[in-house]
């Protein structure tokens, strides 16, 4: 019950944060100064909920969809808080980031909260390496996708979020986060391959998760290569980044739980 209490408190604070931010922006044309602090409080409450669950079950949030979603909401908010802190000019993107977190919270509340024991194959330090790199990868990709979405929407709403830089500057920022995502996606796959060798005696098996992980990595690599070689217009490049994000998001959250063979790969 304590876990759920802190989870609900976290959800309540972040819902208030988004509502407060949107109202302030609509009527005052600026974000409230308290937005970052409220987001941090919500993240802190979720941190307590996850710690309590970890202590109760004696393993991290890795074993079912409820735990995976909760831990990824935690990591996405943390990654965004770092961007919010280090890049003040991008803080207005919280108006787009928060609805994504609401969707994930809604999904979290709909899945069973069943407790599962930790599989023996998860008893390795490489699990934490694999998971840690994966969360940084997805956090960077989410920011890249948000910036790309802004570029696309500006084709119809020319003055939308005028505080942000122009399309070419947003494209360059999105590209930098995309490179960061590709770097940590590569490290995630390397860590996962070493883990797979320890757990199943092979580095790579081309099961459905590994296949889609490679497709996701390849789409990221192609996106980075296109920017260097073809120098596409911001709107076209933004559409491709959104496509890469969709592929990666479905791989990250969908494939592991449709997979019926031993490699569950839940991160």
- The DSSP-derived string for the chain is -HHHHHHHHHHHHHHHHHHHHHHHHHHHSS--TTHHHHHHHHHHHHHHHHHHHHHHHTS-S-SSHHHHHHHHHHHHHHHHHHHHHH-GGGGGGHHHHHHHHHHHHHHHHHS-----PPPGGG-SHHHHHHHHHHHHHHHHHHHHHHHHHHHHHTTT-TTSSTTS--HHHHHHHHHHHHHHHHHHHHHHHHHHHHHHHHHHS-S----HHHHHHHHHHHHHHHHHHHHHHT---HHHHHHHHHHHHHHHHHHHHTHHHH--SS-----
- Together in a domain, 130 and 249: yes
Predicted confidence at residue 258, as pLDDT, reads 63
> Residue 77 domain-assigned?
no
Range of the domain at 245: 119-267
223-267 per-position pLDDT tens digit? 999 999 999 999 999 999 999 999 999 888 877 666 544 454 444
- Together in a domain, 106 and 133: no
Q: pLDDT category, 117, cuts 50, 70, 90? A: confident
Q: What is the mean predicted confidence (pLDDT) over 73-102?
A: 95
- Together in a domain, 96 and 141: no
Number of structural domains in the chain: 2
Q: What is the mean predicted confidence (pLDDT) over 192-214?
A: 86
The CA distance from 81 to 76, in Å, is: 8
Distance of CA 209 to the CA centre of its chain: 18
Query: Does 149 have pLDDT greater than 90?
Result: yes
Predicted confidence at residue 265, as pLDDT, reads 45
Please say which residue of 70, 96, 112 terminates a domain.
Answer: 112
Q: What is the mean predicted confidence (pLDDT) over 182-208?
A: 89
Predicted confidence at residue 111, as pLDDT, reads 87
pTM of the model: 0.92
- Together in a domain, 102 and 179: no
Q: Which of 265, 253, 230 is nearest to 141 (CA)?
A: 253
Predicted confidence at residue 266, as pLDDT, reads 42
Q: What is the mean predicted confidence (pLDDT) over 67-88?
A: 95
- Together in a domain, 144 and 247: yes
| Residue entry with tokens 């883990």 | 195
> Residue 76 domain-assigned?
no
- Together in a domain, 32 and 47: yes
- Together in a domain, 152 and 92: no
- Together in a domain, 27 and 95: yes
């Amino acid at each position: 019950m304590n876990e759920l209490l802190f989870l609900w408190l976290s959800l309540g604070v972040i819902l208030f944060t988004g509502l407060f931010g949107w109202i302030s922006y609509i009527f005052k044309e600026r974000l409230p100064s308290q937005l970052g602090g409220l987001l941090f409080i919500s993240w802190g409450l979720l941190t307590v909920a996850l710690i309590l669950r970890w202590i109760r079950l004696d393993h991290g949030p890795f074993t079912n969809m409820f735990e995976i979603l909760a831990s990824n909401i935690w990591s996405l908010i943390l990654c965004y808080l770092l961007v919010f802190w280090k890049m003040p000019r991008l803080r207005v993107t919280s108006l787009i980031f928060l609805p994504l977190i609401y969707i994930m919270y809604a999904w979290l509340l709909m899945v069973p909260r069943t407790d599962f024991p930790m599989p023996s194959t998860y008893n390795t330090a490489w699990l934490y390496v694999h998971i840690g790199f994966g969360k940084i990868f997805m956090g960077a990709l989410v920011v890249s996708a948000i910036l790309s979405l802004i570029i696309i929407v500006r084709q119809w709403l020319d003055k939308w979020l005028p505080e942000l830089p122009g399309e070419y500057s947003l494209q360059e920022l999105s590209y930098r986060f995309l490179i960061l995502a590709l770097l940590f996606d590569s490290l995630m796959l390397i860590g996962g391959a070493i883990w797979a060798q320890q757990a199943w005696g092979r580095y790579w098996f081309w099961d459905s998760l590994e296949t889609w992980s490679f497709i996701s990595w390849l789409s990221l690599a192609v996106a980075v290569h296109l920017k260097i070689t073809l120098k596409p217009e911001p709107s076209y490049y933004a559409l491709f980044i959104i496509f890469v994000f969709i592929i990666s998001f479905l791989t990250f959250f969908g494939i592991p739980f449709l997979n019926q063979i031993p490699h569950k790969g839940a991160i």
